[in-house]
Copies of this chain bind each other. A is one copy, B any other.
């Protein structure tokens, strides 16, 4: 089997490539940096580059992970985020249609990684969130992903493409950017443990509850959807369980075994956030047999160990 992976150099992309390799897939990895490494540069603003990547990859499956993924960056430059995340995804879908018209190659499945952010903040009775809810985005990142879903599914329905949408909730794992909450806690703790920083640990809203999956369970879900998802359908990729951020921090502090002073940082508080957000993964389980394998405690211990290693270097 042959895969084209966009965003292959990103946090999730690197894990996905490892999982595909383990299953014996041939992979064309798109992402940066352009020089060195296995990466083919792919500018989603460039229909010609998309055509070339498809011709090279002749994929059975396309895993479209490339995106502007950080909410504050989307707030800072919303139009660029819409262009990359929504228009770029549409351009890829139409690129697939053109590729099928131009070659005798088989139809690839296109798996698009959307985000639970599209649901926005809902009444308590609507949790756990199911896929049939109408999106209600509350920030430009969420808007870009909801728009991408609409463009992709509309194009796929119109053109007869084979598209599956994964709505991913929070995911964590070793190697994630410190801009995300768990990685930030782990990195701060590792620096304190190494003696490179004082005992102060900056946090956002610890009472918020979110739905966390280990990134390896996330990519297992993507592989399962590439194999067994139904075309044109949307699937939540989530644990189904809300966990208070406070509990994650406690587990990480126990792993670090260093004295800390927890301080609230107003810059880390997002006013518009929902107090509790978690999804229903029944549709994903029923379609694919997928189930999460990695308990949260194990994820957190490995994340801390990895942060400690990074802090040493």
User: Which residues of A pack against B, CB within 8 Å?
Assistant: 47, 75, 78-79, 82-83, 86-87, 90-91, 94, 118, 120, 131-140, 142-144, 146-155, 157-158, 272
Contacts and interface: CB of A to CB of B under 8 A. Distances in A.
Contacts of A135: 134-135, 150
A152 B155 CA distance: 20
Given A79-B87, A82-B87, A142 B154 contact: yes
Contacts of A118: 150
Contacts of A148: 147
Nearest to A146: B150
A147 B136 CA distance: 12
B134 A150 contact: no
Nearest to A143: B154
A153 B157 contact: no
Interface of A is mostly: helix
14 contacts: A47-B79, A78-B158, A82-B90, A86-B86, A132-B134, A133-B134, A134-B134, A137-B153, A139-B154, A140-B158, A144-B151, A146-B151, A150-B150, A158-B272
A136 B158 CA distance: 11
Contacts of A132: 134
A164 to B, nearest CB: 15
Contact of A150 (B75, B91, B131, B147): B147
B143 A155 contact: yes
A150 B117 CA distance: 12
Contacts of A146: 147, 150-151, 154
Given A79-B91, A94-B78, A137-B150, A157 B86 contact: no
Contacts of A158: 75, 78, 138-140, 143, 272
A79 B90 contact: yes
A53 to B, nearest CB: 17
B120 A137 contact: no
A147 B89 CA distance: 12
A179 B47 CA distance: 30
Given A82-B87, A134-B132, A151 B157 contact: no
Nearest to A93: B78
Contacts of A87: 79, 82-83, 87
A143 B150 contact: yes
A262 to B, nearest CB: 29
A202 B150 CA distance: 33
A87 B75 CA distance: 16
Nearest to A47: B79
Contacts of A149: 150
Contacts of A139: 154, 157-158
Nearest to A157: B138
A181 B184 CA distance: 59
Contacts of A147: 86, 146-148, 150-151, 154
